[in-house]
């Protein structure tokens, strides 16, 4: 395995989609958090923008709009906006990169993104997007479908191996540094004079400060992954102490079945099962030396650290969403009509028919009873629609 690693670390040239998938599996060279294999295409990886978008001309955050189909912002003529990526990227010393606009963005009239990525980078990425035209242009951030949202690729990251020898990766790099973005630029922007729109600028300053100082919570998922790491470390300590083989093997009883029963995290399952098989199949402690299981053991721990980091980045993105106001397209009446009336048009027609029958037909119902009976059909339909939308999310 070490000979293969020596060959891999001296690679030169661009990474292709298969290399991004391999880097994700091995958690070396480049680590993208979170990783989506659908975004690894050709010779690049597509990065998505967050909802933190700043107008250079207006010196304030851009309003984020949404409707039933998408979340987006408008970029005014001759304006430049700054945004940070949703992804957190870690590159090792043998990787460099460049960023390029996607064809769709250029076709809409937006200026080309062109910047570089240095080795040993760690953090979210800052992009400047210019609108050189005389019309405002819509920049789509996410698209909605069946109650779910999907991030839209904004910029293609193209990475290359430098051919430089790279030290072996350690799990120490797999944690969320605070702050997780280009604070030097954001702080510079937030320290400029407020000018005419003092309140909006103060709001912007407050948001940037909160995003910079963000600290993720250690939730249940984090604790479960830490317990798995502790179990792996306990096995290592027992082997080092030269404990009985039967005791070492007993330490993993129950872990495998518990992991199998959980949904998702297939890569973690694969790495853990490979490591645990080595433990279960050992005939003596000498079968469990650092040379024989060290790399596999390290892979399990690094995978846990990576998944912890995915949770931290998700928390950071949700925190940004919470701070940034999102405006529904159209007025309140328009939104109500699109969200509730149109999907329930049949129910409202039935409502009108029932009203006509109750109020103009012959019956012995009181006025209150007539109103309640008339409202049953539309209210039940709207309730079912609301429950379905919550369930899909």
Q: How many residues does the chain have?
A: 393
> Residues 40, 94: contact at Cβ < 8 Å?
no
> Residues 97, 162: contact at Cβ < 8 Å?
no
Digit-coded pLDDT (tens) for 122-164: 889 988 999 999 999 999 999 988 778 889 998 999 999 988 7
Helix, strand, coil percent content, the chain, rounded in steps of 5: 50, 20, 30
> Residues 310, 33: contact at Cβ < 8 Å?
yes
CB atoms within 10 A of CB 187: 14
Fold exhibited by the domain 2-169 = Deoxyuridine 5'-Triphosphate Nucleotidohydrolase; Chain A (2.70.40)
Contacts of 315 (CB under 8 A, 6+ apart): 214, 216, 217
Strand bridging mode 326-328 / 64-66:
parallel
Contacts of 341 (CB under 8 A, 6+ apart): 348
Q: Which helix (H) or strand (E) holds 363?
A: none
Per-residue pLDDT, 137: 93
Digit-coded pLDDT (tens) for 265-276: 999 999 999 999
Cα angle 41, 104, 316 (rounded to 5 degrees) comes to: 70
Q: In the predicted model, is pLDDT for residue 377 greater than 80?
A: no
| Angular region, 263: left φ>0, alpha ψ -120 to 50, beta rest | beta
What's the gap between Cα 343 and its chain centre?
31
Give the pLDDT band of residue 330 (cuts 50, 70, 90).
low
Q: What is the mean pLDDT of the chain?
A: 82
Q: 224 or 11: which carries more pLDDT confidence?
A: 224
Alpha helices in the chain (DSSP H): 2-8, 17-26, 103-107, 183-190, 198-212, 220-240, 245-250, 255-261, 266-281, 290-323, 332-336, 345-360, 367-392
> Residues 49, 85: contact at Cβ < 8 Å?
yes
- pLDDT > 90: what percent of the chain? 44
Residue in this structure with the two tokens 């060959």, named with its chain if needed:
7
**Mean pLDDT for the stretch of residues 35-60:** 91
CB atoms within 10 A of CB 338: 15
Question: What Cα–Cα distance (Å) separates residue 109 from each residue in 43, 72, 73, 153?
Answer: 24, 16, 15, 16
CB atoms within 10 A of CB 392: 10
Give the pLDDT band of residue 263 (cuts 50, 70, 90).
confident
Joined tokens for residue 20: 């991004």
Digit-coded pLDDT (tens) for 74-90: 999 999 999 999 999 99
Joined tokens for residue 219: 């939730």
Task: List beta partners, residue 75.
Answer: 137
- pLDDT > 70: what percent of the chain? 74
First to last CA, the chain: 43
**Mean pLDDT for the stretch of residues 181-207:** 69
Q: CA-CA distance, 144 to 338, in Å (whole number)? A: 15
Task: List beta partners, residue 65.
Answer: 72, 327
Give the pLDDT band of residue 374 (cuts 50, 70, 90).
low
Choose the weakest-confidence range: 31-35, 41-45, 197-201, 353-357: 353-357
Q: In the predicted model, is pLDDT for residue 95 greater than 60?
A: yes
Q: In the predicted model, is pLDDT for residue 229 greater than 80?
A: yes
Give the pLDDT band of residue 5 (cuts 50, 70, 90).
very low
Asked whether the bond before 34 is cis by omega within 30 degrees of 0, the reply is yes
Q: In the predicted model, is pLDDT for residue 355 greater than 50?
A: yes
Choose the weakest-confidence range: 50-59, 196-205, 256-265, 266-275: 196-205
**Mean pLDDT for the stretch of residues 241-254:** 91
Digit-coded pLDDT (tens) for 279-317: 999 999 999 998 899 999 999 999 999 999 999 999 999
Per-residue pLDDT, 317: 92
């Amino acid at each position: 395995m070490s000979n293969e690693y020596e060959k891999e670390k001296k690679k030169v040239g661009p990474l292709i989609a298969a290399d991004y998938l391999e880097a994700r599996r091995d958690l070396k060279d480049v680590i993208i958090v979170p990783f989506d294999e659908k975004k690894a295409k050709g010779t690049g990886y597509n990065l998505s923008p967050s909802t933190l978008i700043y107008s250079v001309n207006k010196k304030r955050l851009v309003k984020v709009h949404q409707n039933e189909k998408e979340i987006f912002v408008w970029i005014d003529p001759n304006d430049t906006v700054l945004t940070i990526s949703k992804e957190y990227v870690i590159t090792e010393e043998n990787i460099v990169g460049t960023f390029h606009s996607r064809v769709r963005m250029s076709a809409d009239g937006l200026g080309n993104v062109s910047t570089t990525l240095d080795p040993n980078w760690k953090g979210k990425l800052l992009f400047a997007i210019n609108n050189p035209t005389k019309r405002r242009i819509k920049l789509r951030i996410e698209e909605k479908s069946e109650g779910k949202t999907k991030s839209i690729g904004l910029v293609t990251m193209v990475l290359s191996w430098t051919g430089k020898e790279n030290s072996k990766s350690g799990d120490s790099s797999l944690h969320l540094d605070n702050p997780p973005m280009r604070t030097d630029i954001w702080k510079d922007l937030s320290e400029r004079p407020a000018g005419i729109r003092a309140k909006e600028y103060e709001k912007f300053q407050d948001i940037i400060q909160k995003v910079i100082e963000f600290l993720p919570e250690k939730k249940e998922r984090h604790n479960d992954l830490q317990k798995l790491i502790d179990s792996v470390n306990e096995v290592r300590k027992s082997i080092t102490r030269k404990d009985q083989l039967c005791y070492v093997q007993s330490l993993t009883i129950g872990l495998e079945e518990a992991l199998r029963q959980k949904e998702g995290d297939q890569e973690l399952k694969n790495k853990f099962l490979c490591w645990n098989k080595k433990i279960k199949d050992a005939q003596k402690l000498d079968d469990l030396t650092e040379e024989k299981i060290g790399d596999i053991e390290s892979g399990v721990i690094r995978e846990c650290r990576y998944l912890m980091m995915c949770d931290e980045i998700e928390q950071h993105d949700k925190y940004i969403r919470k701070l940034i106001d999102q405006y529904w397209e159209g007025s309140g009446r328009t939104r109500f009509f699109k969200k509730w009336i149109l999907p329930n048009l049949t129910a409202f027609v039935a409502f009108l028919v029932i009203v006509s029958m109750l109020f103009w037909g012959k019956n012995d119902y009181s006025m209150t009873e007539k109103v309640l009976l008339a409202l049953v059909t539309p209210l039940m339909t709207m309730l079912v629609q609301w429950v379905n939308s919550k369930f899909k999310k």
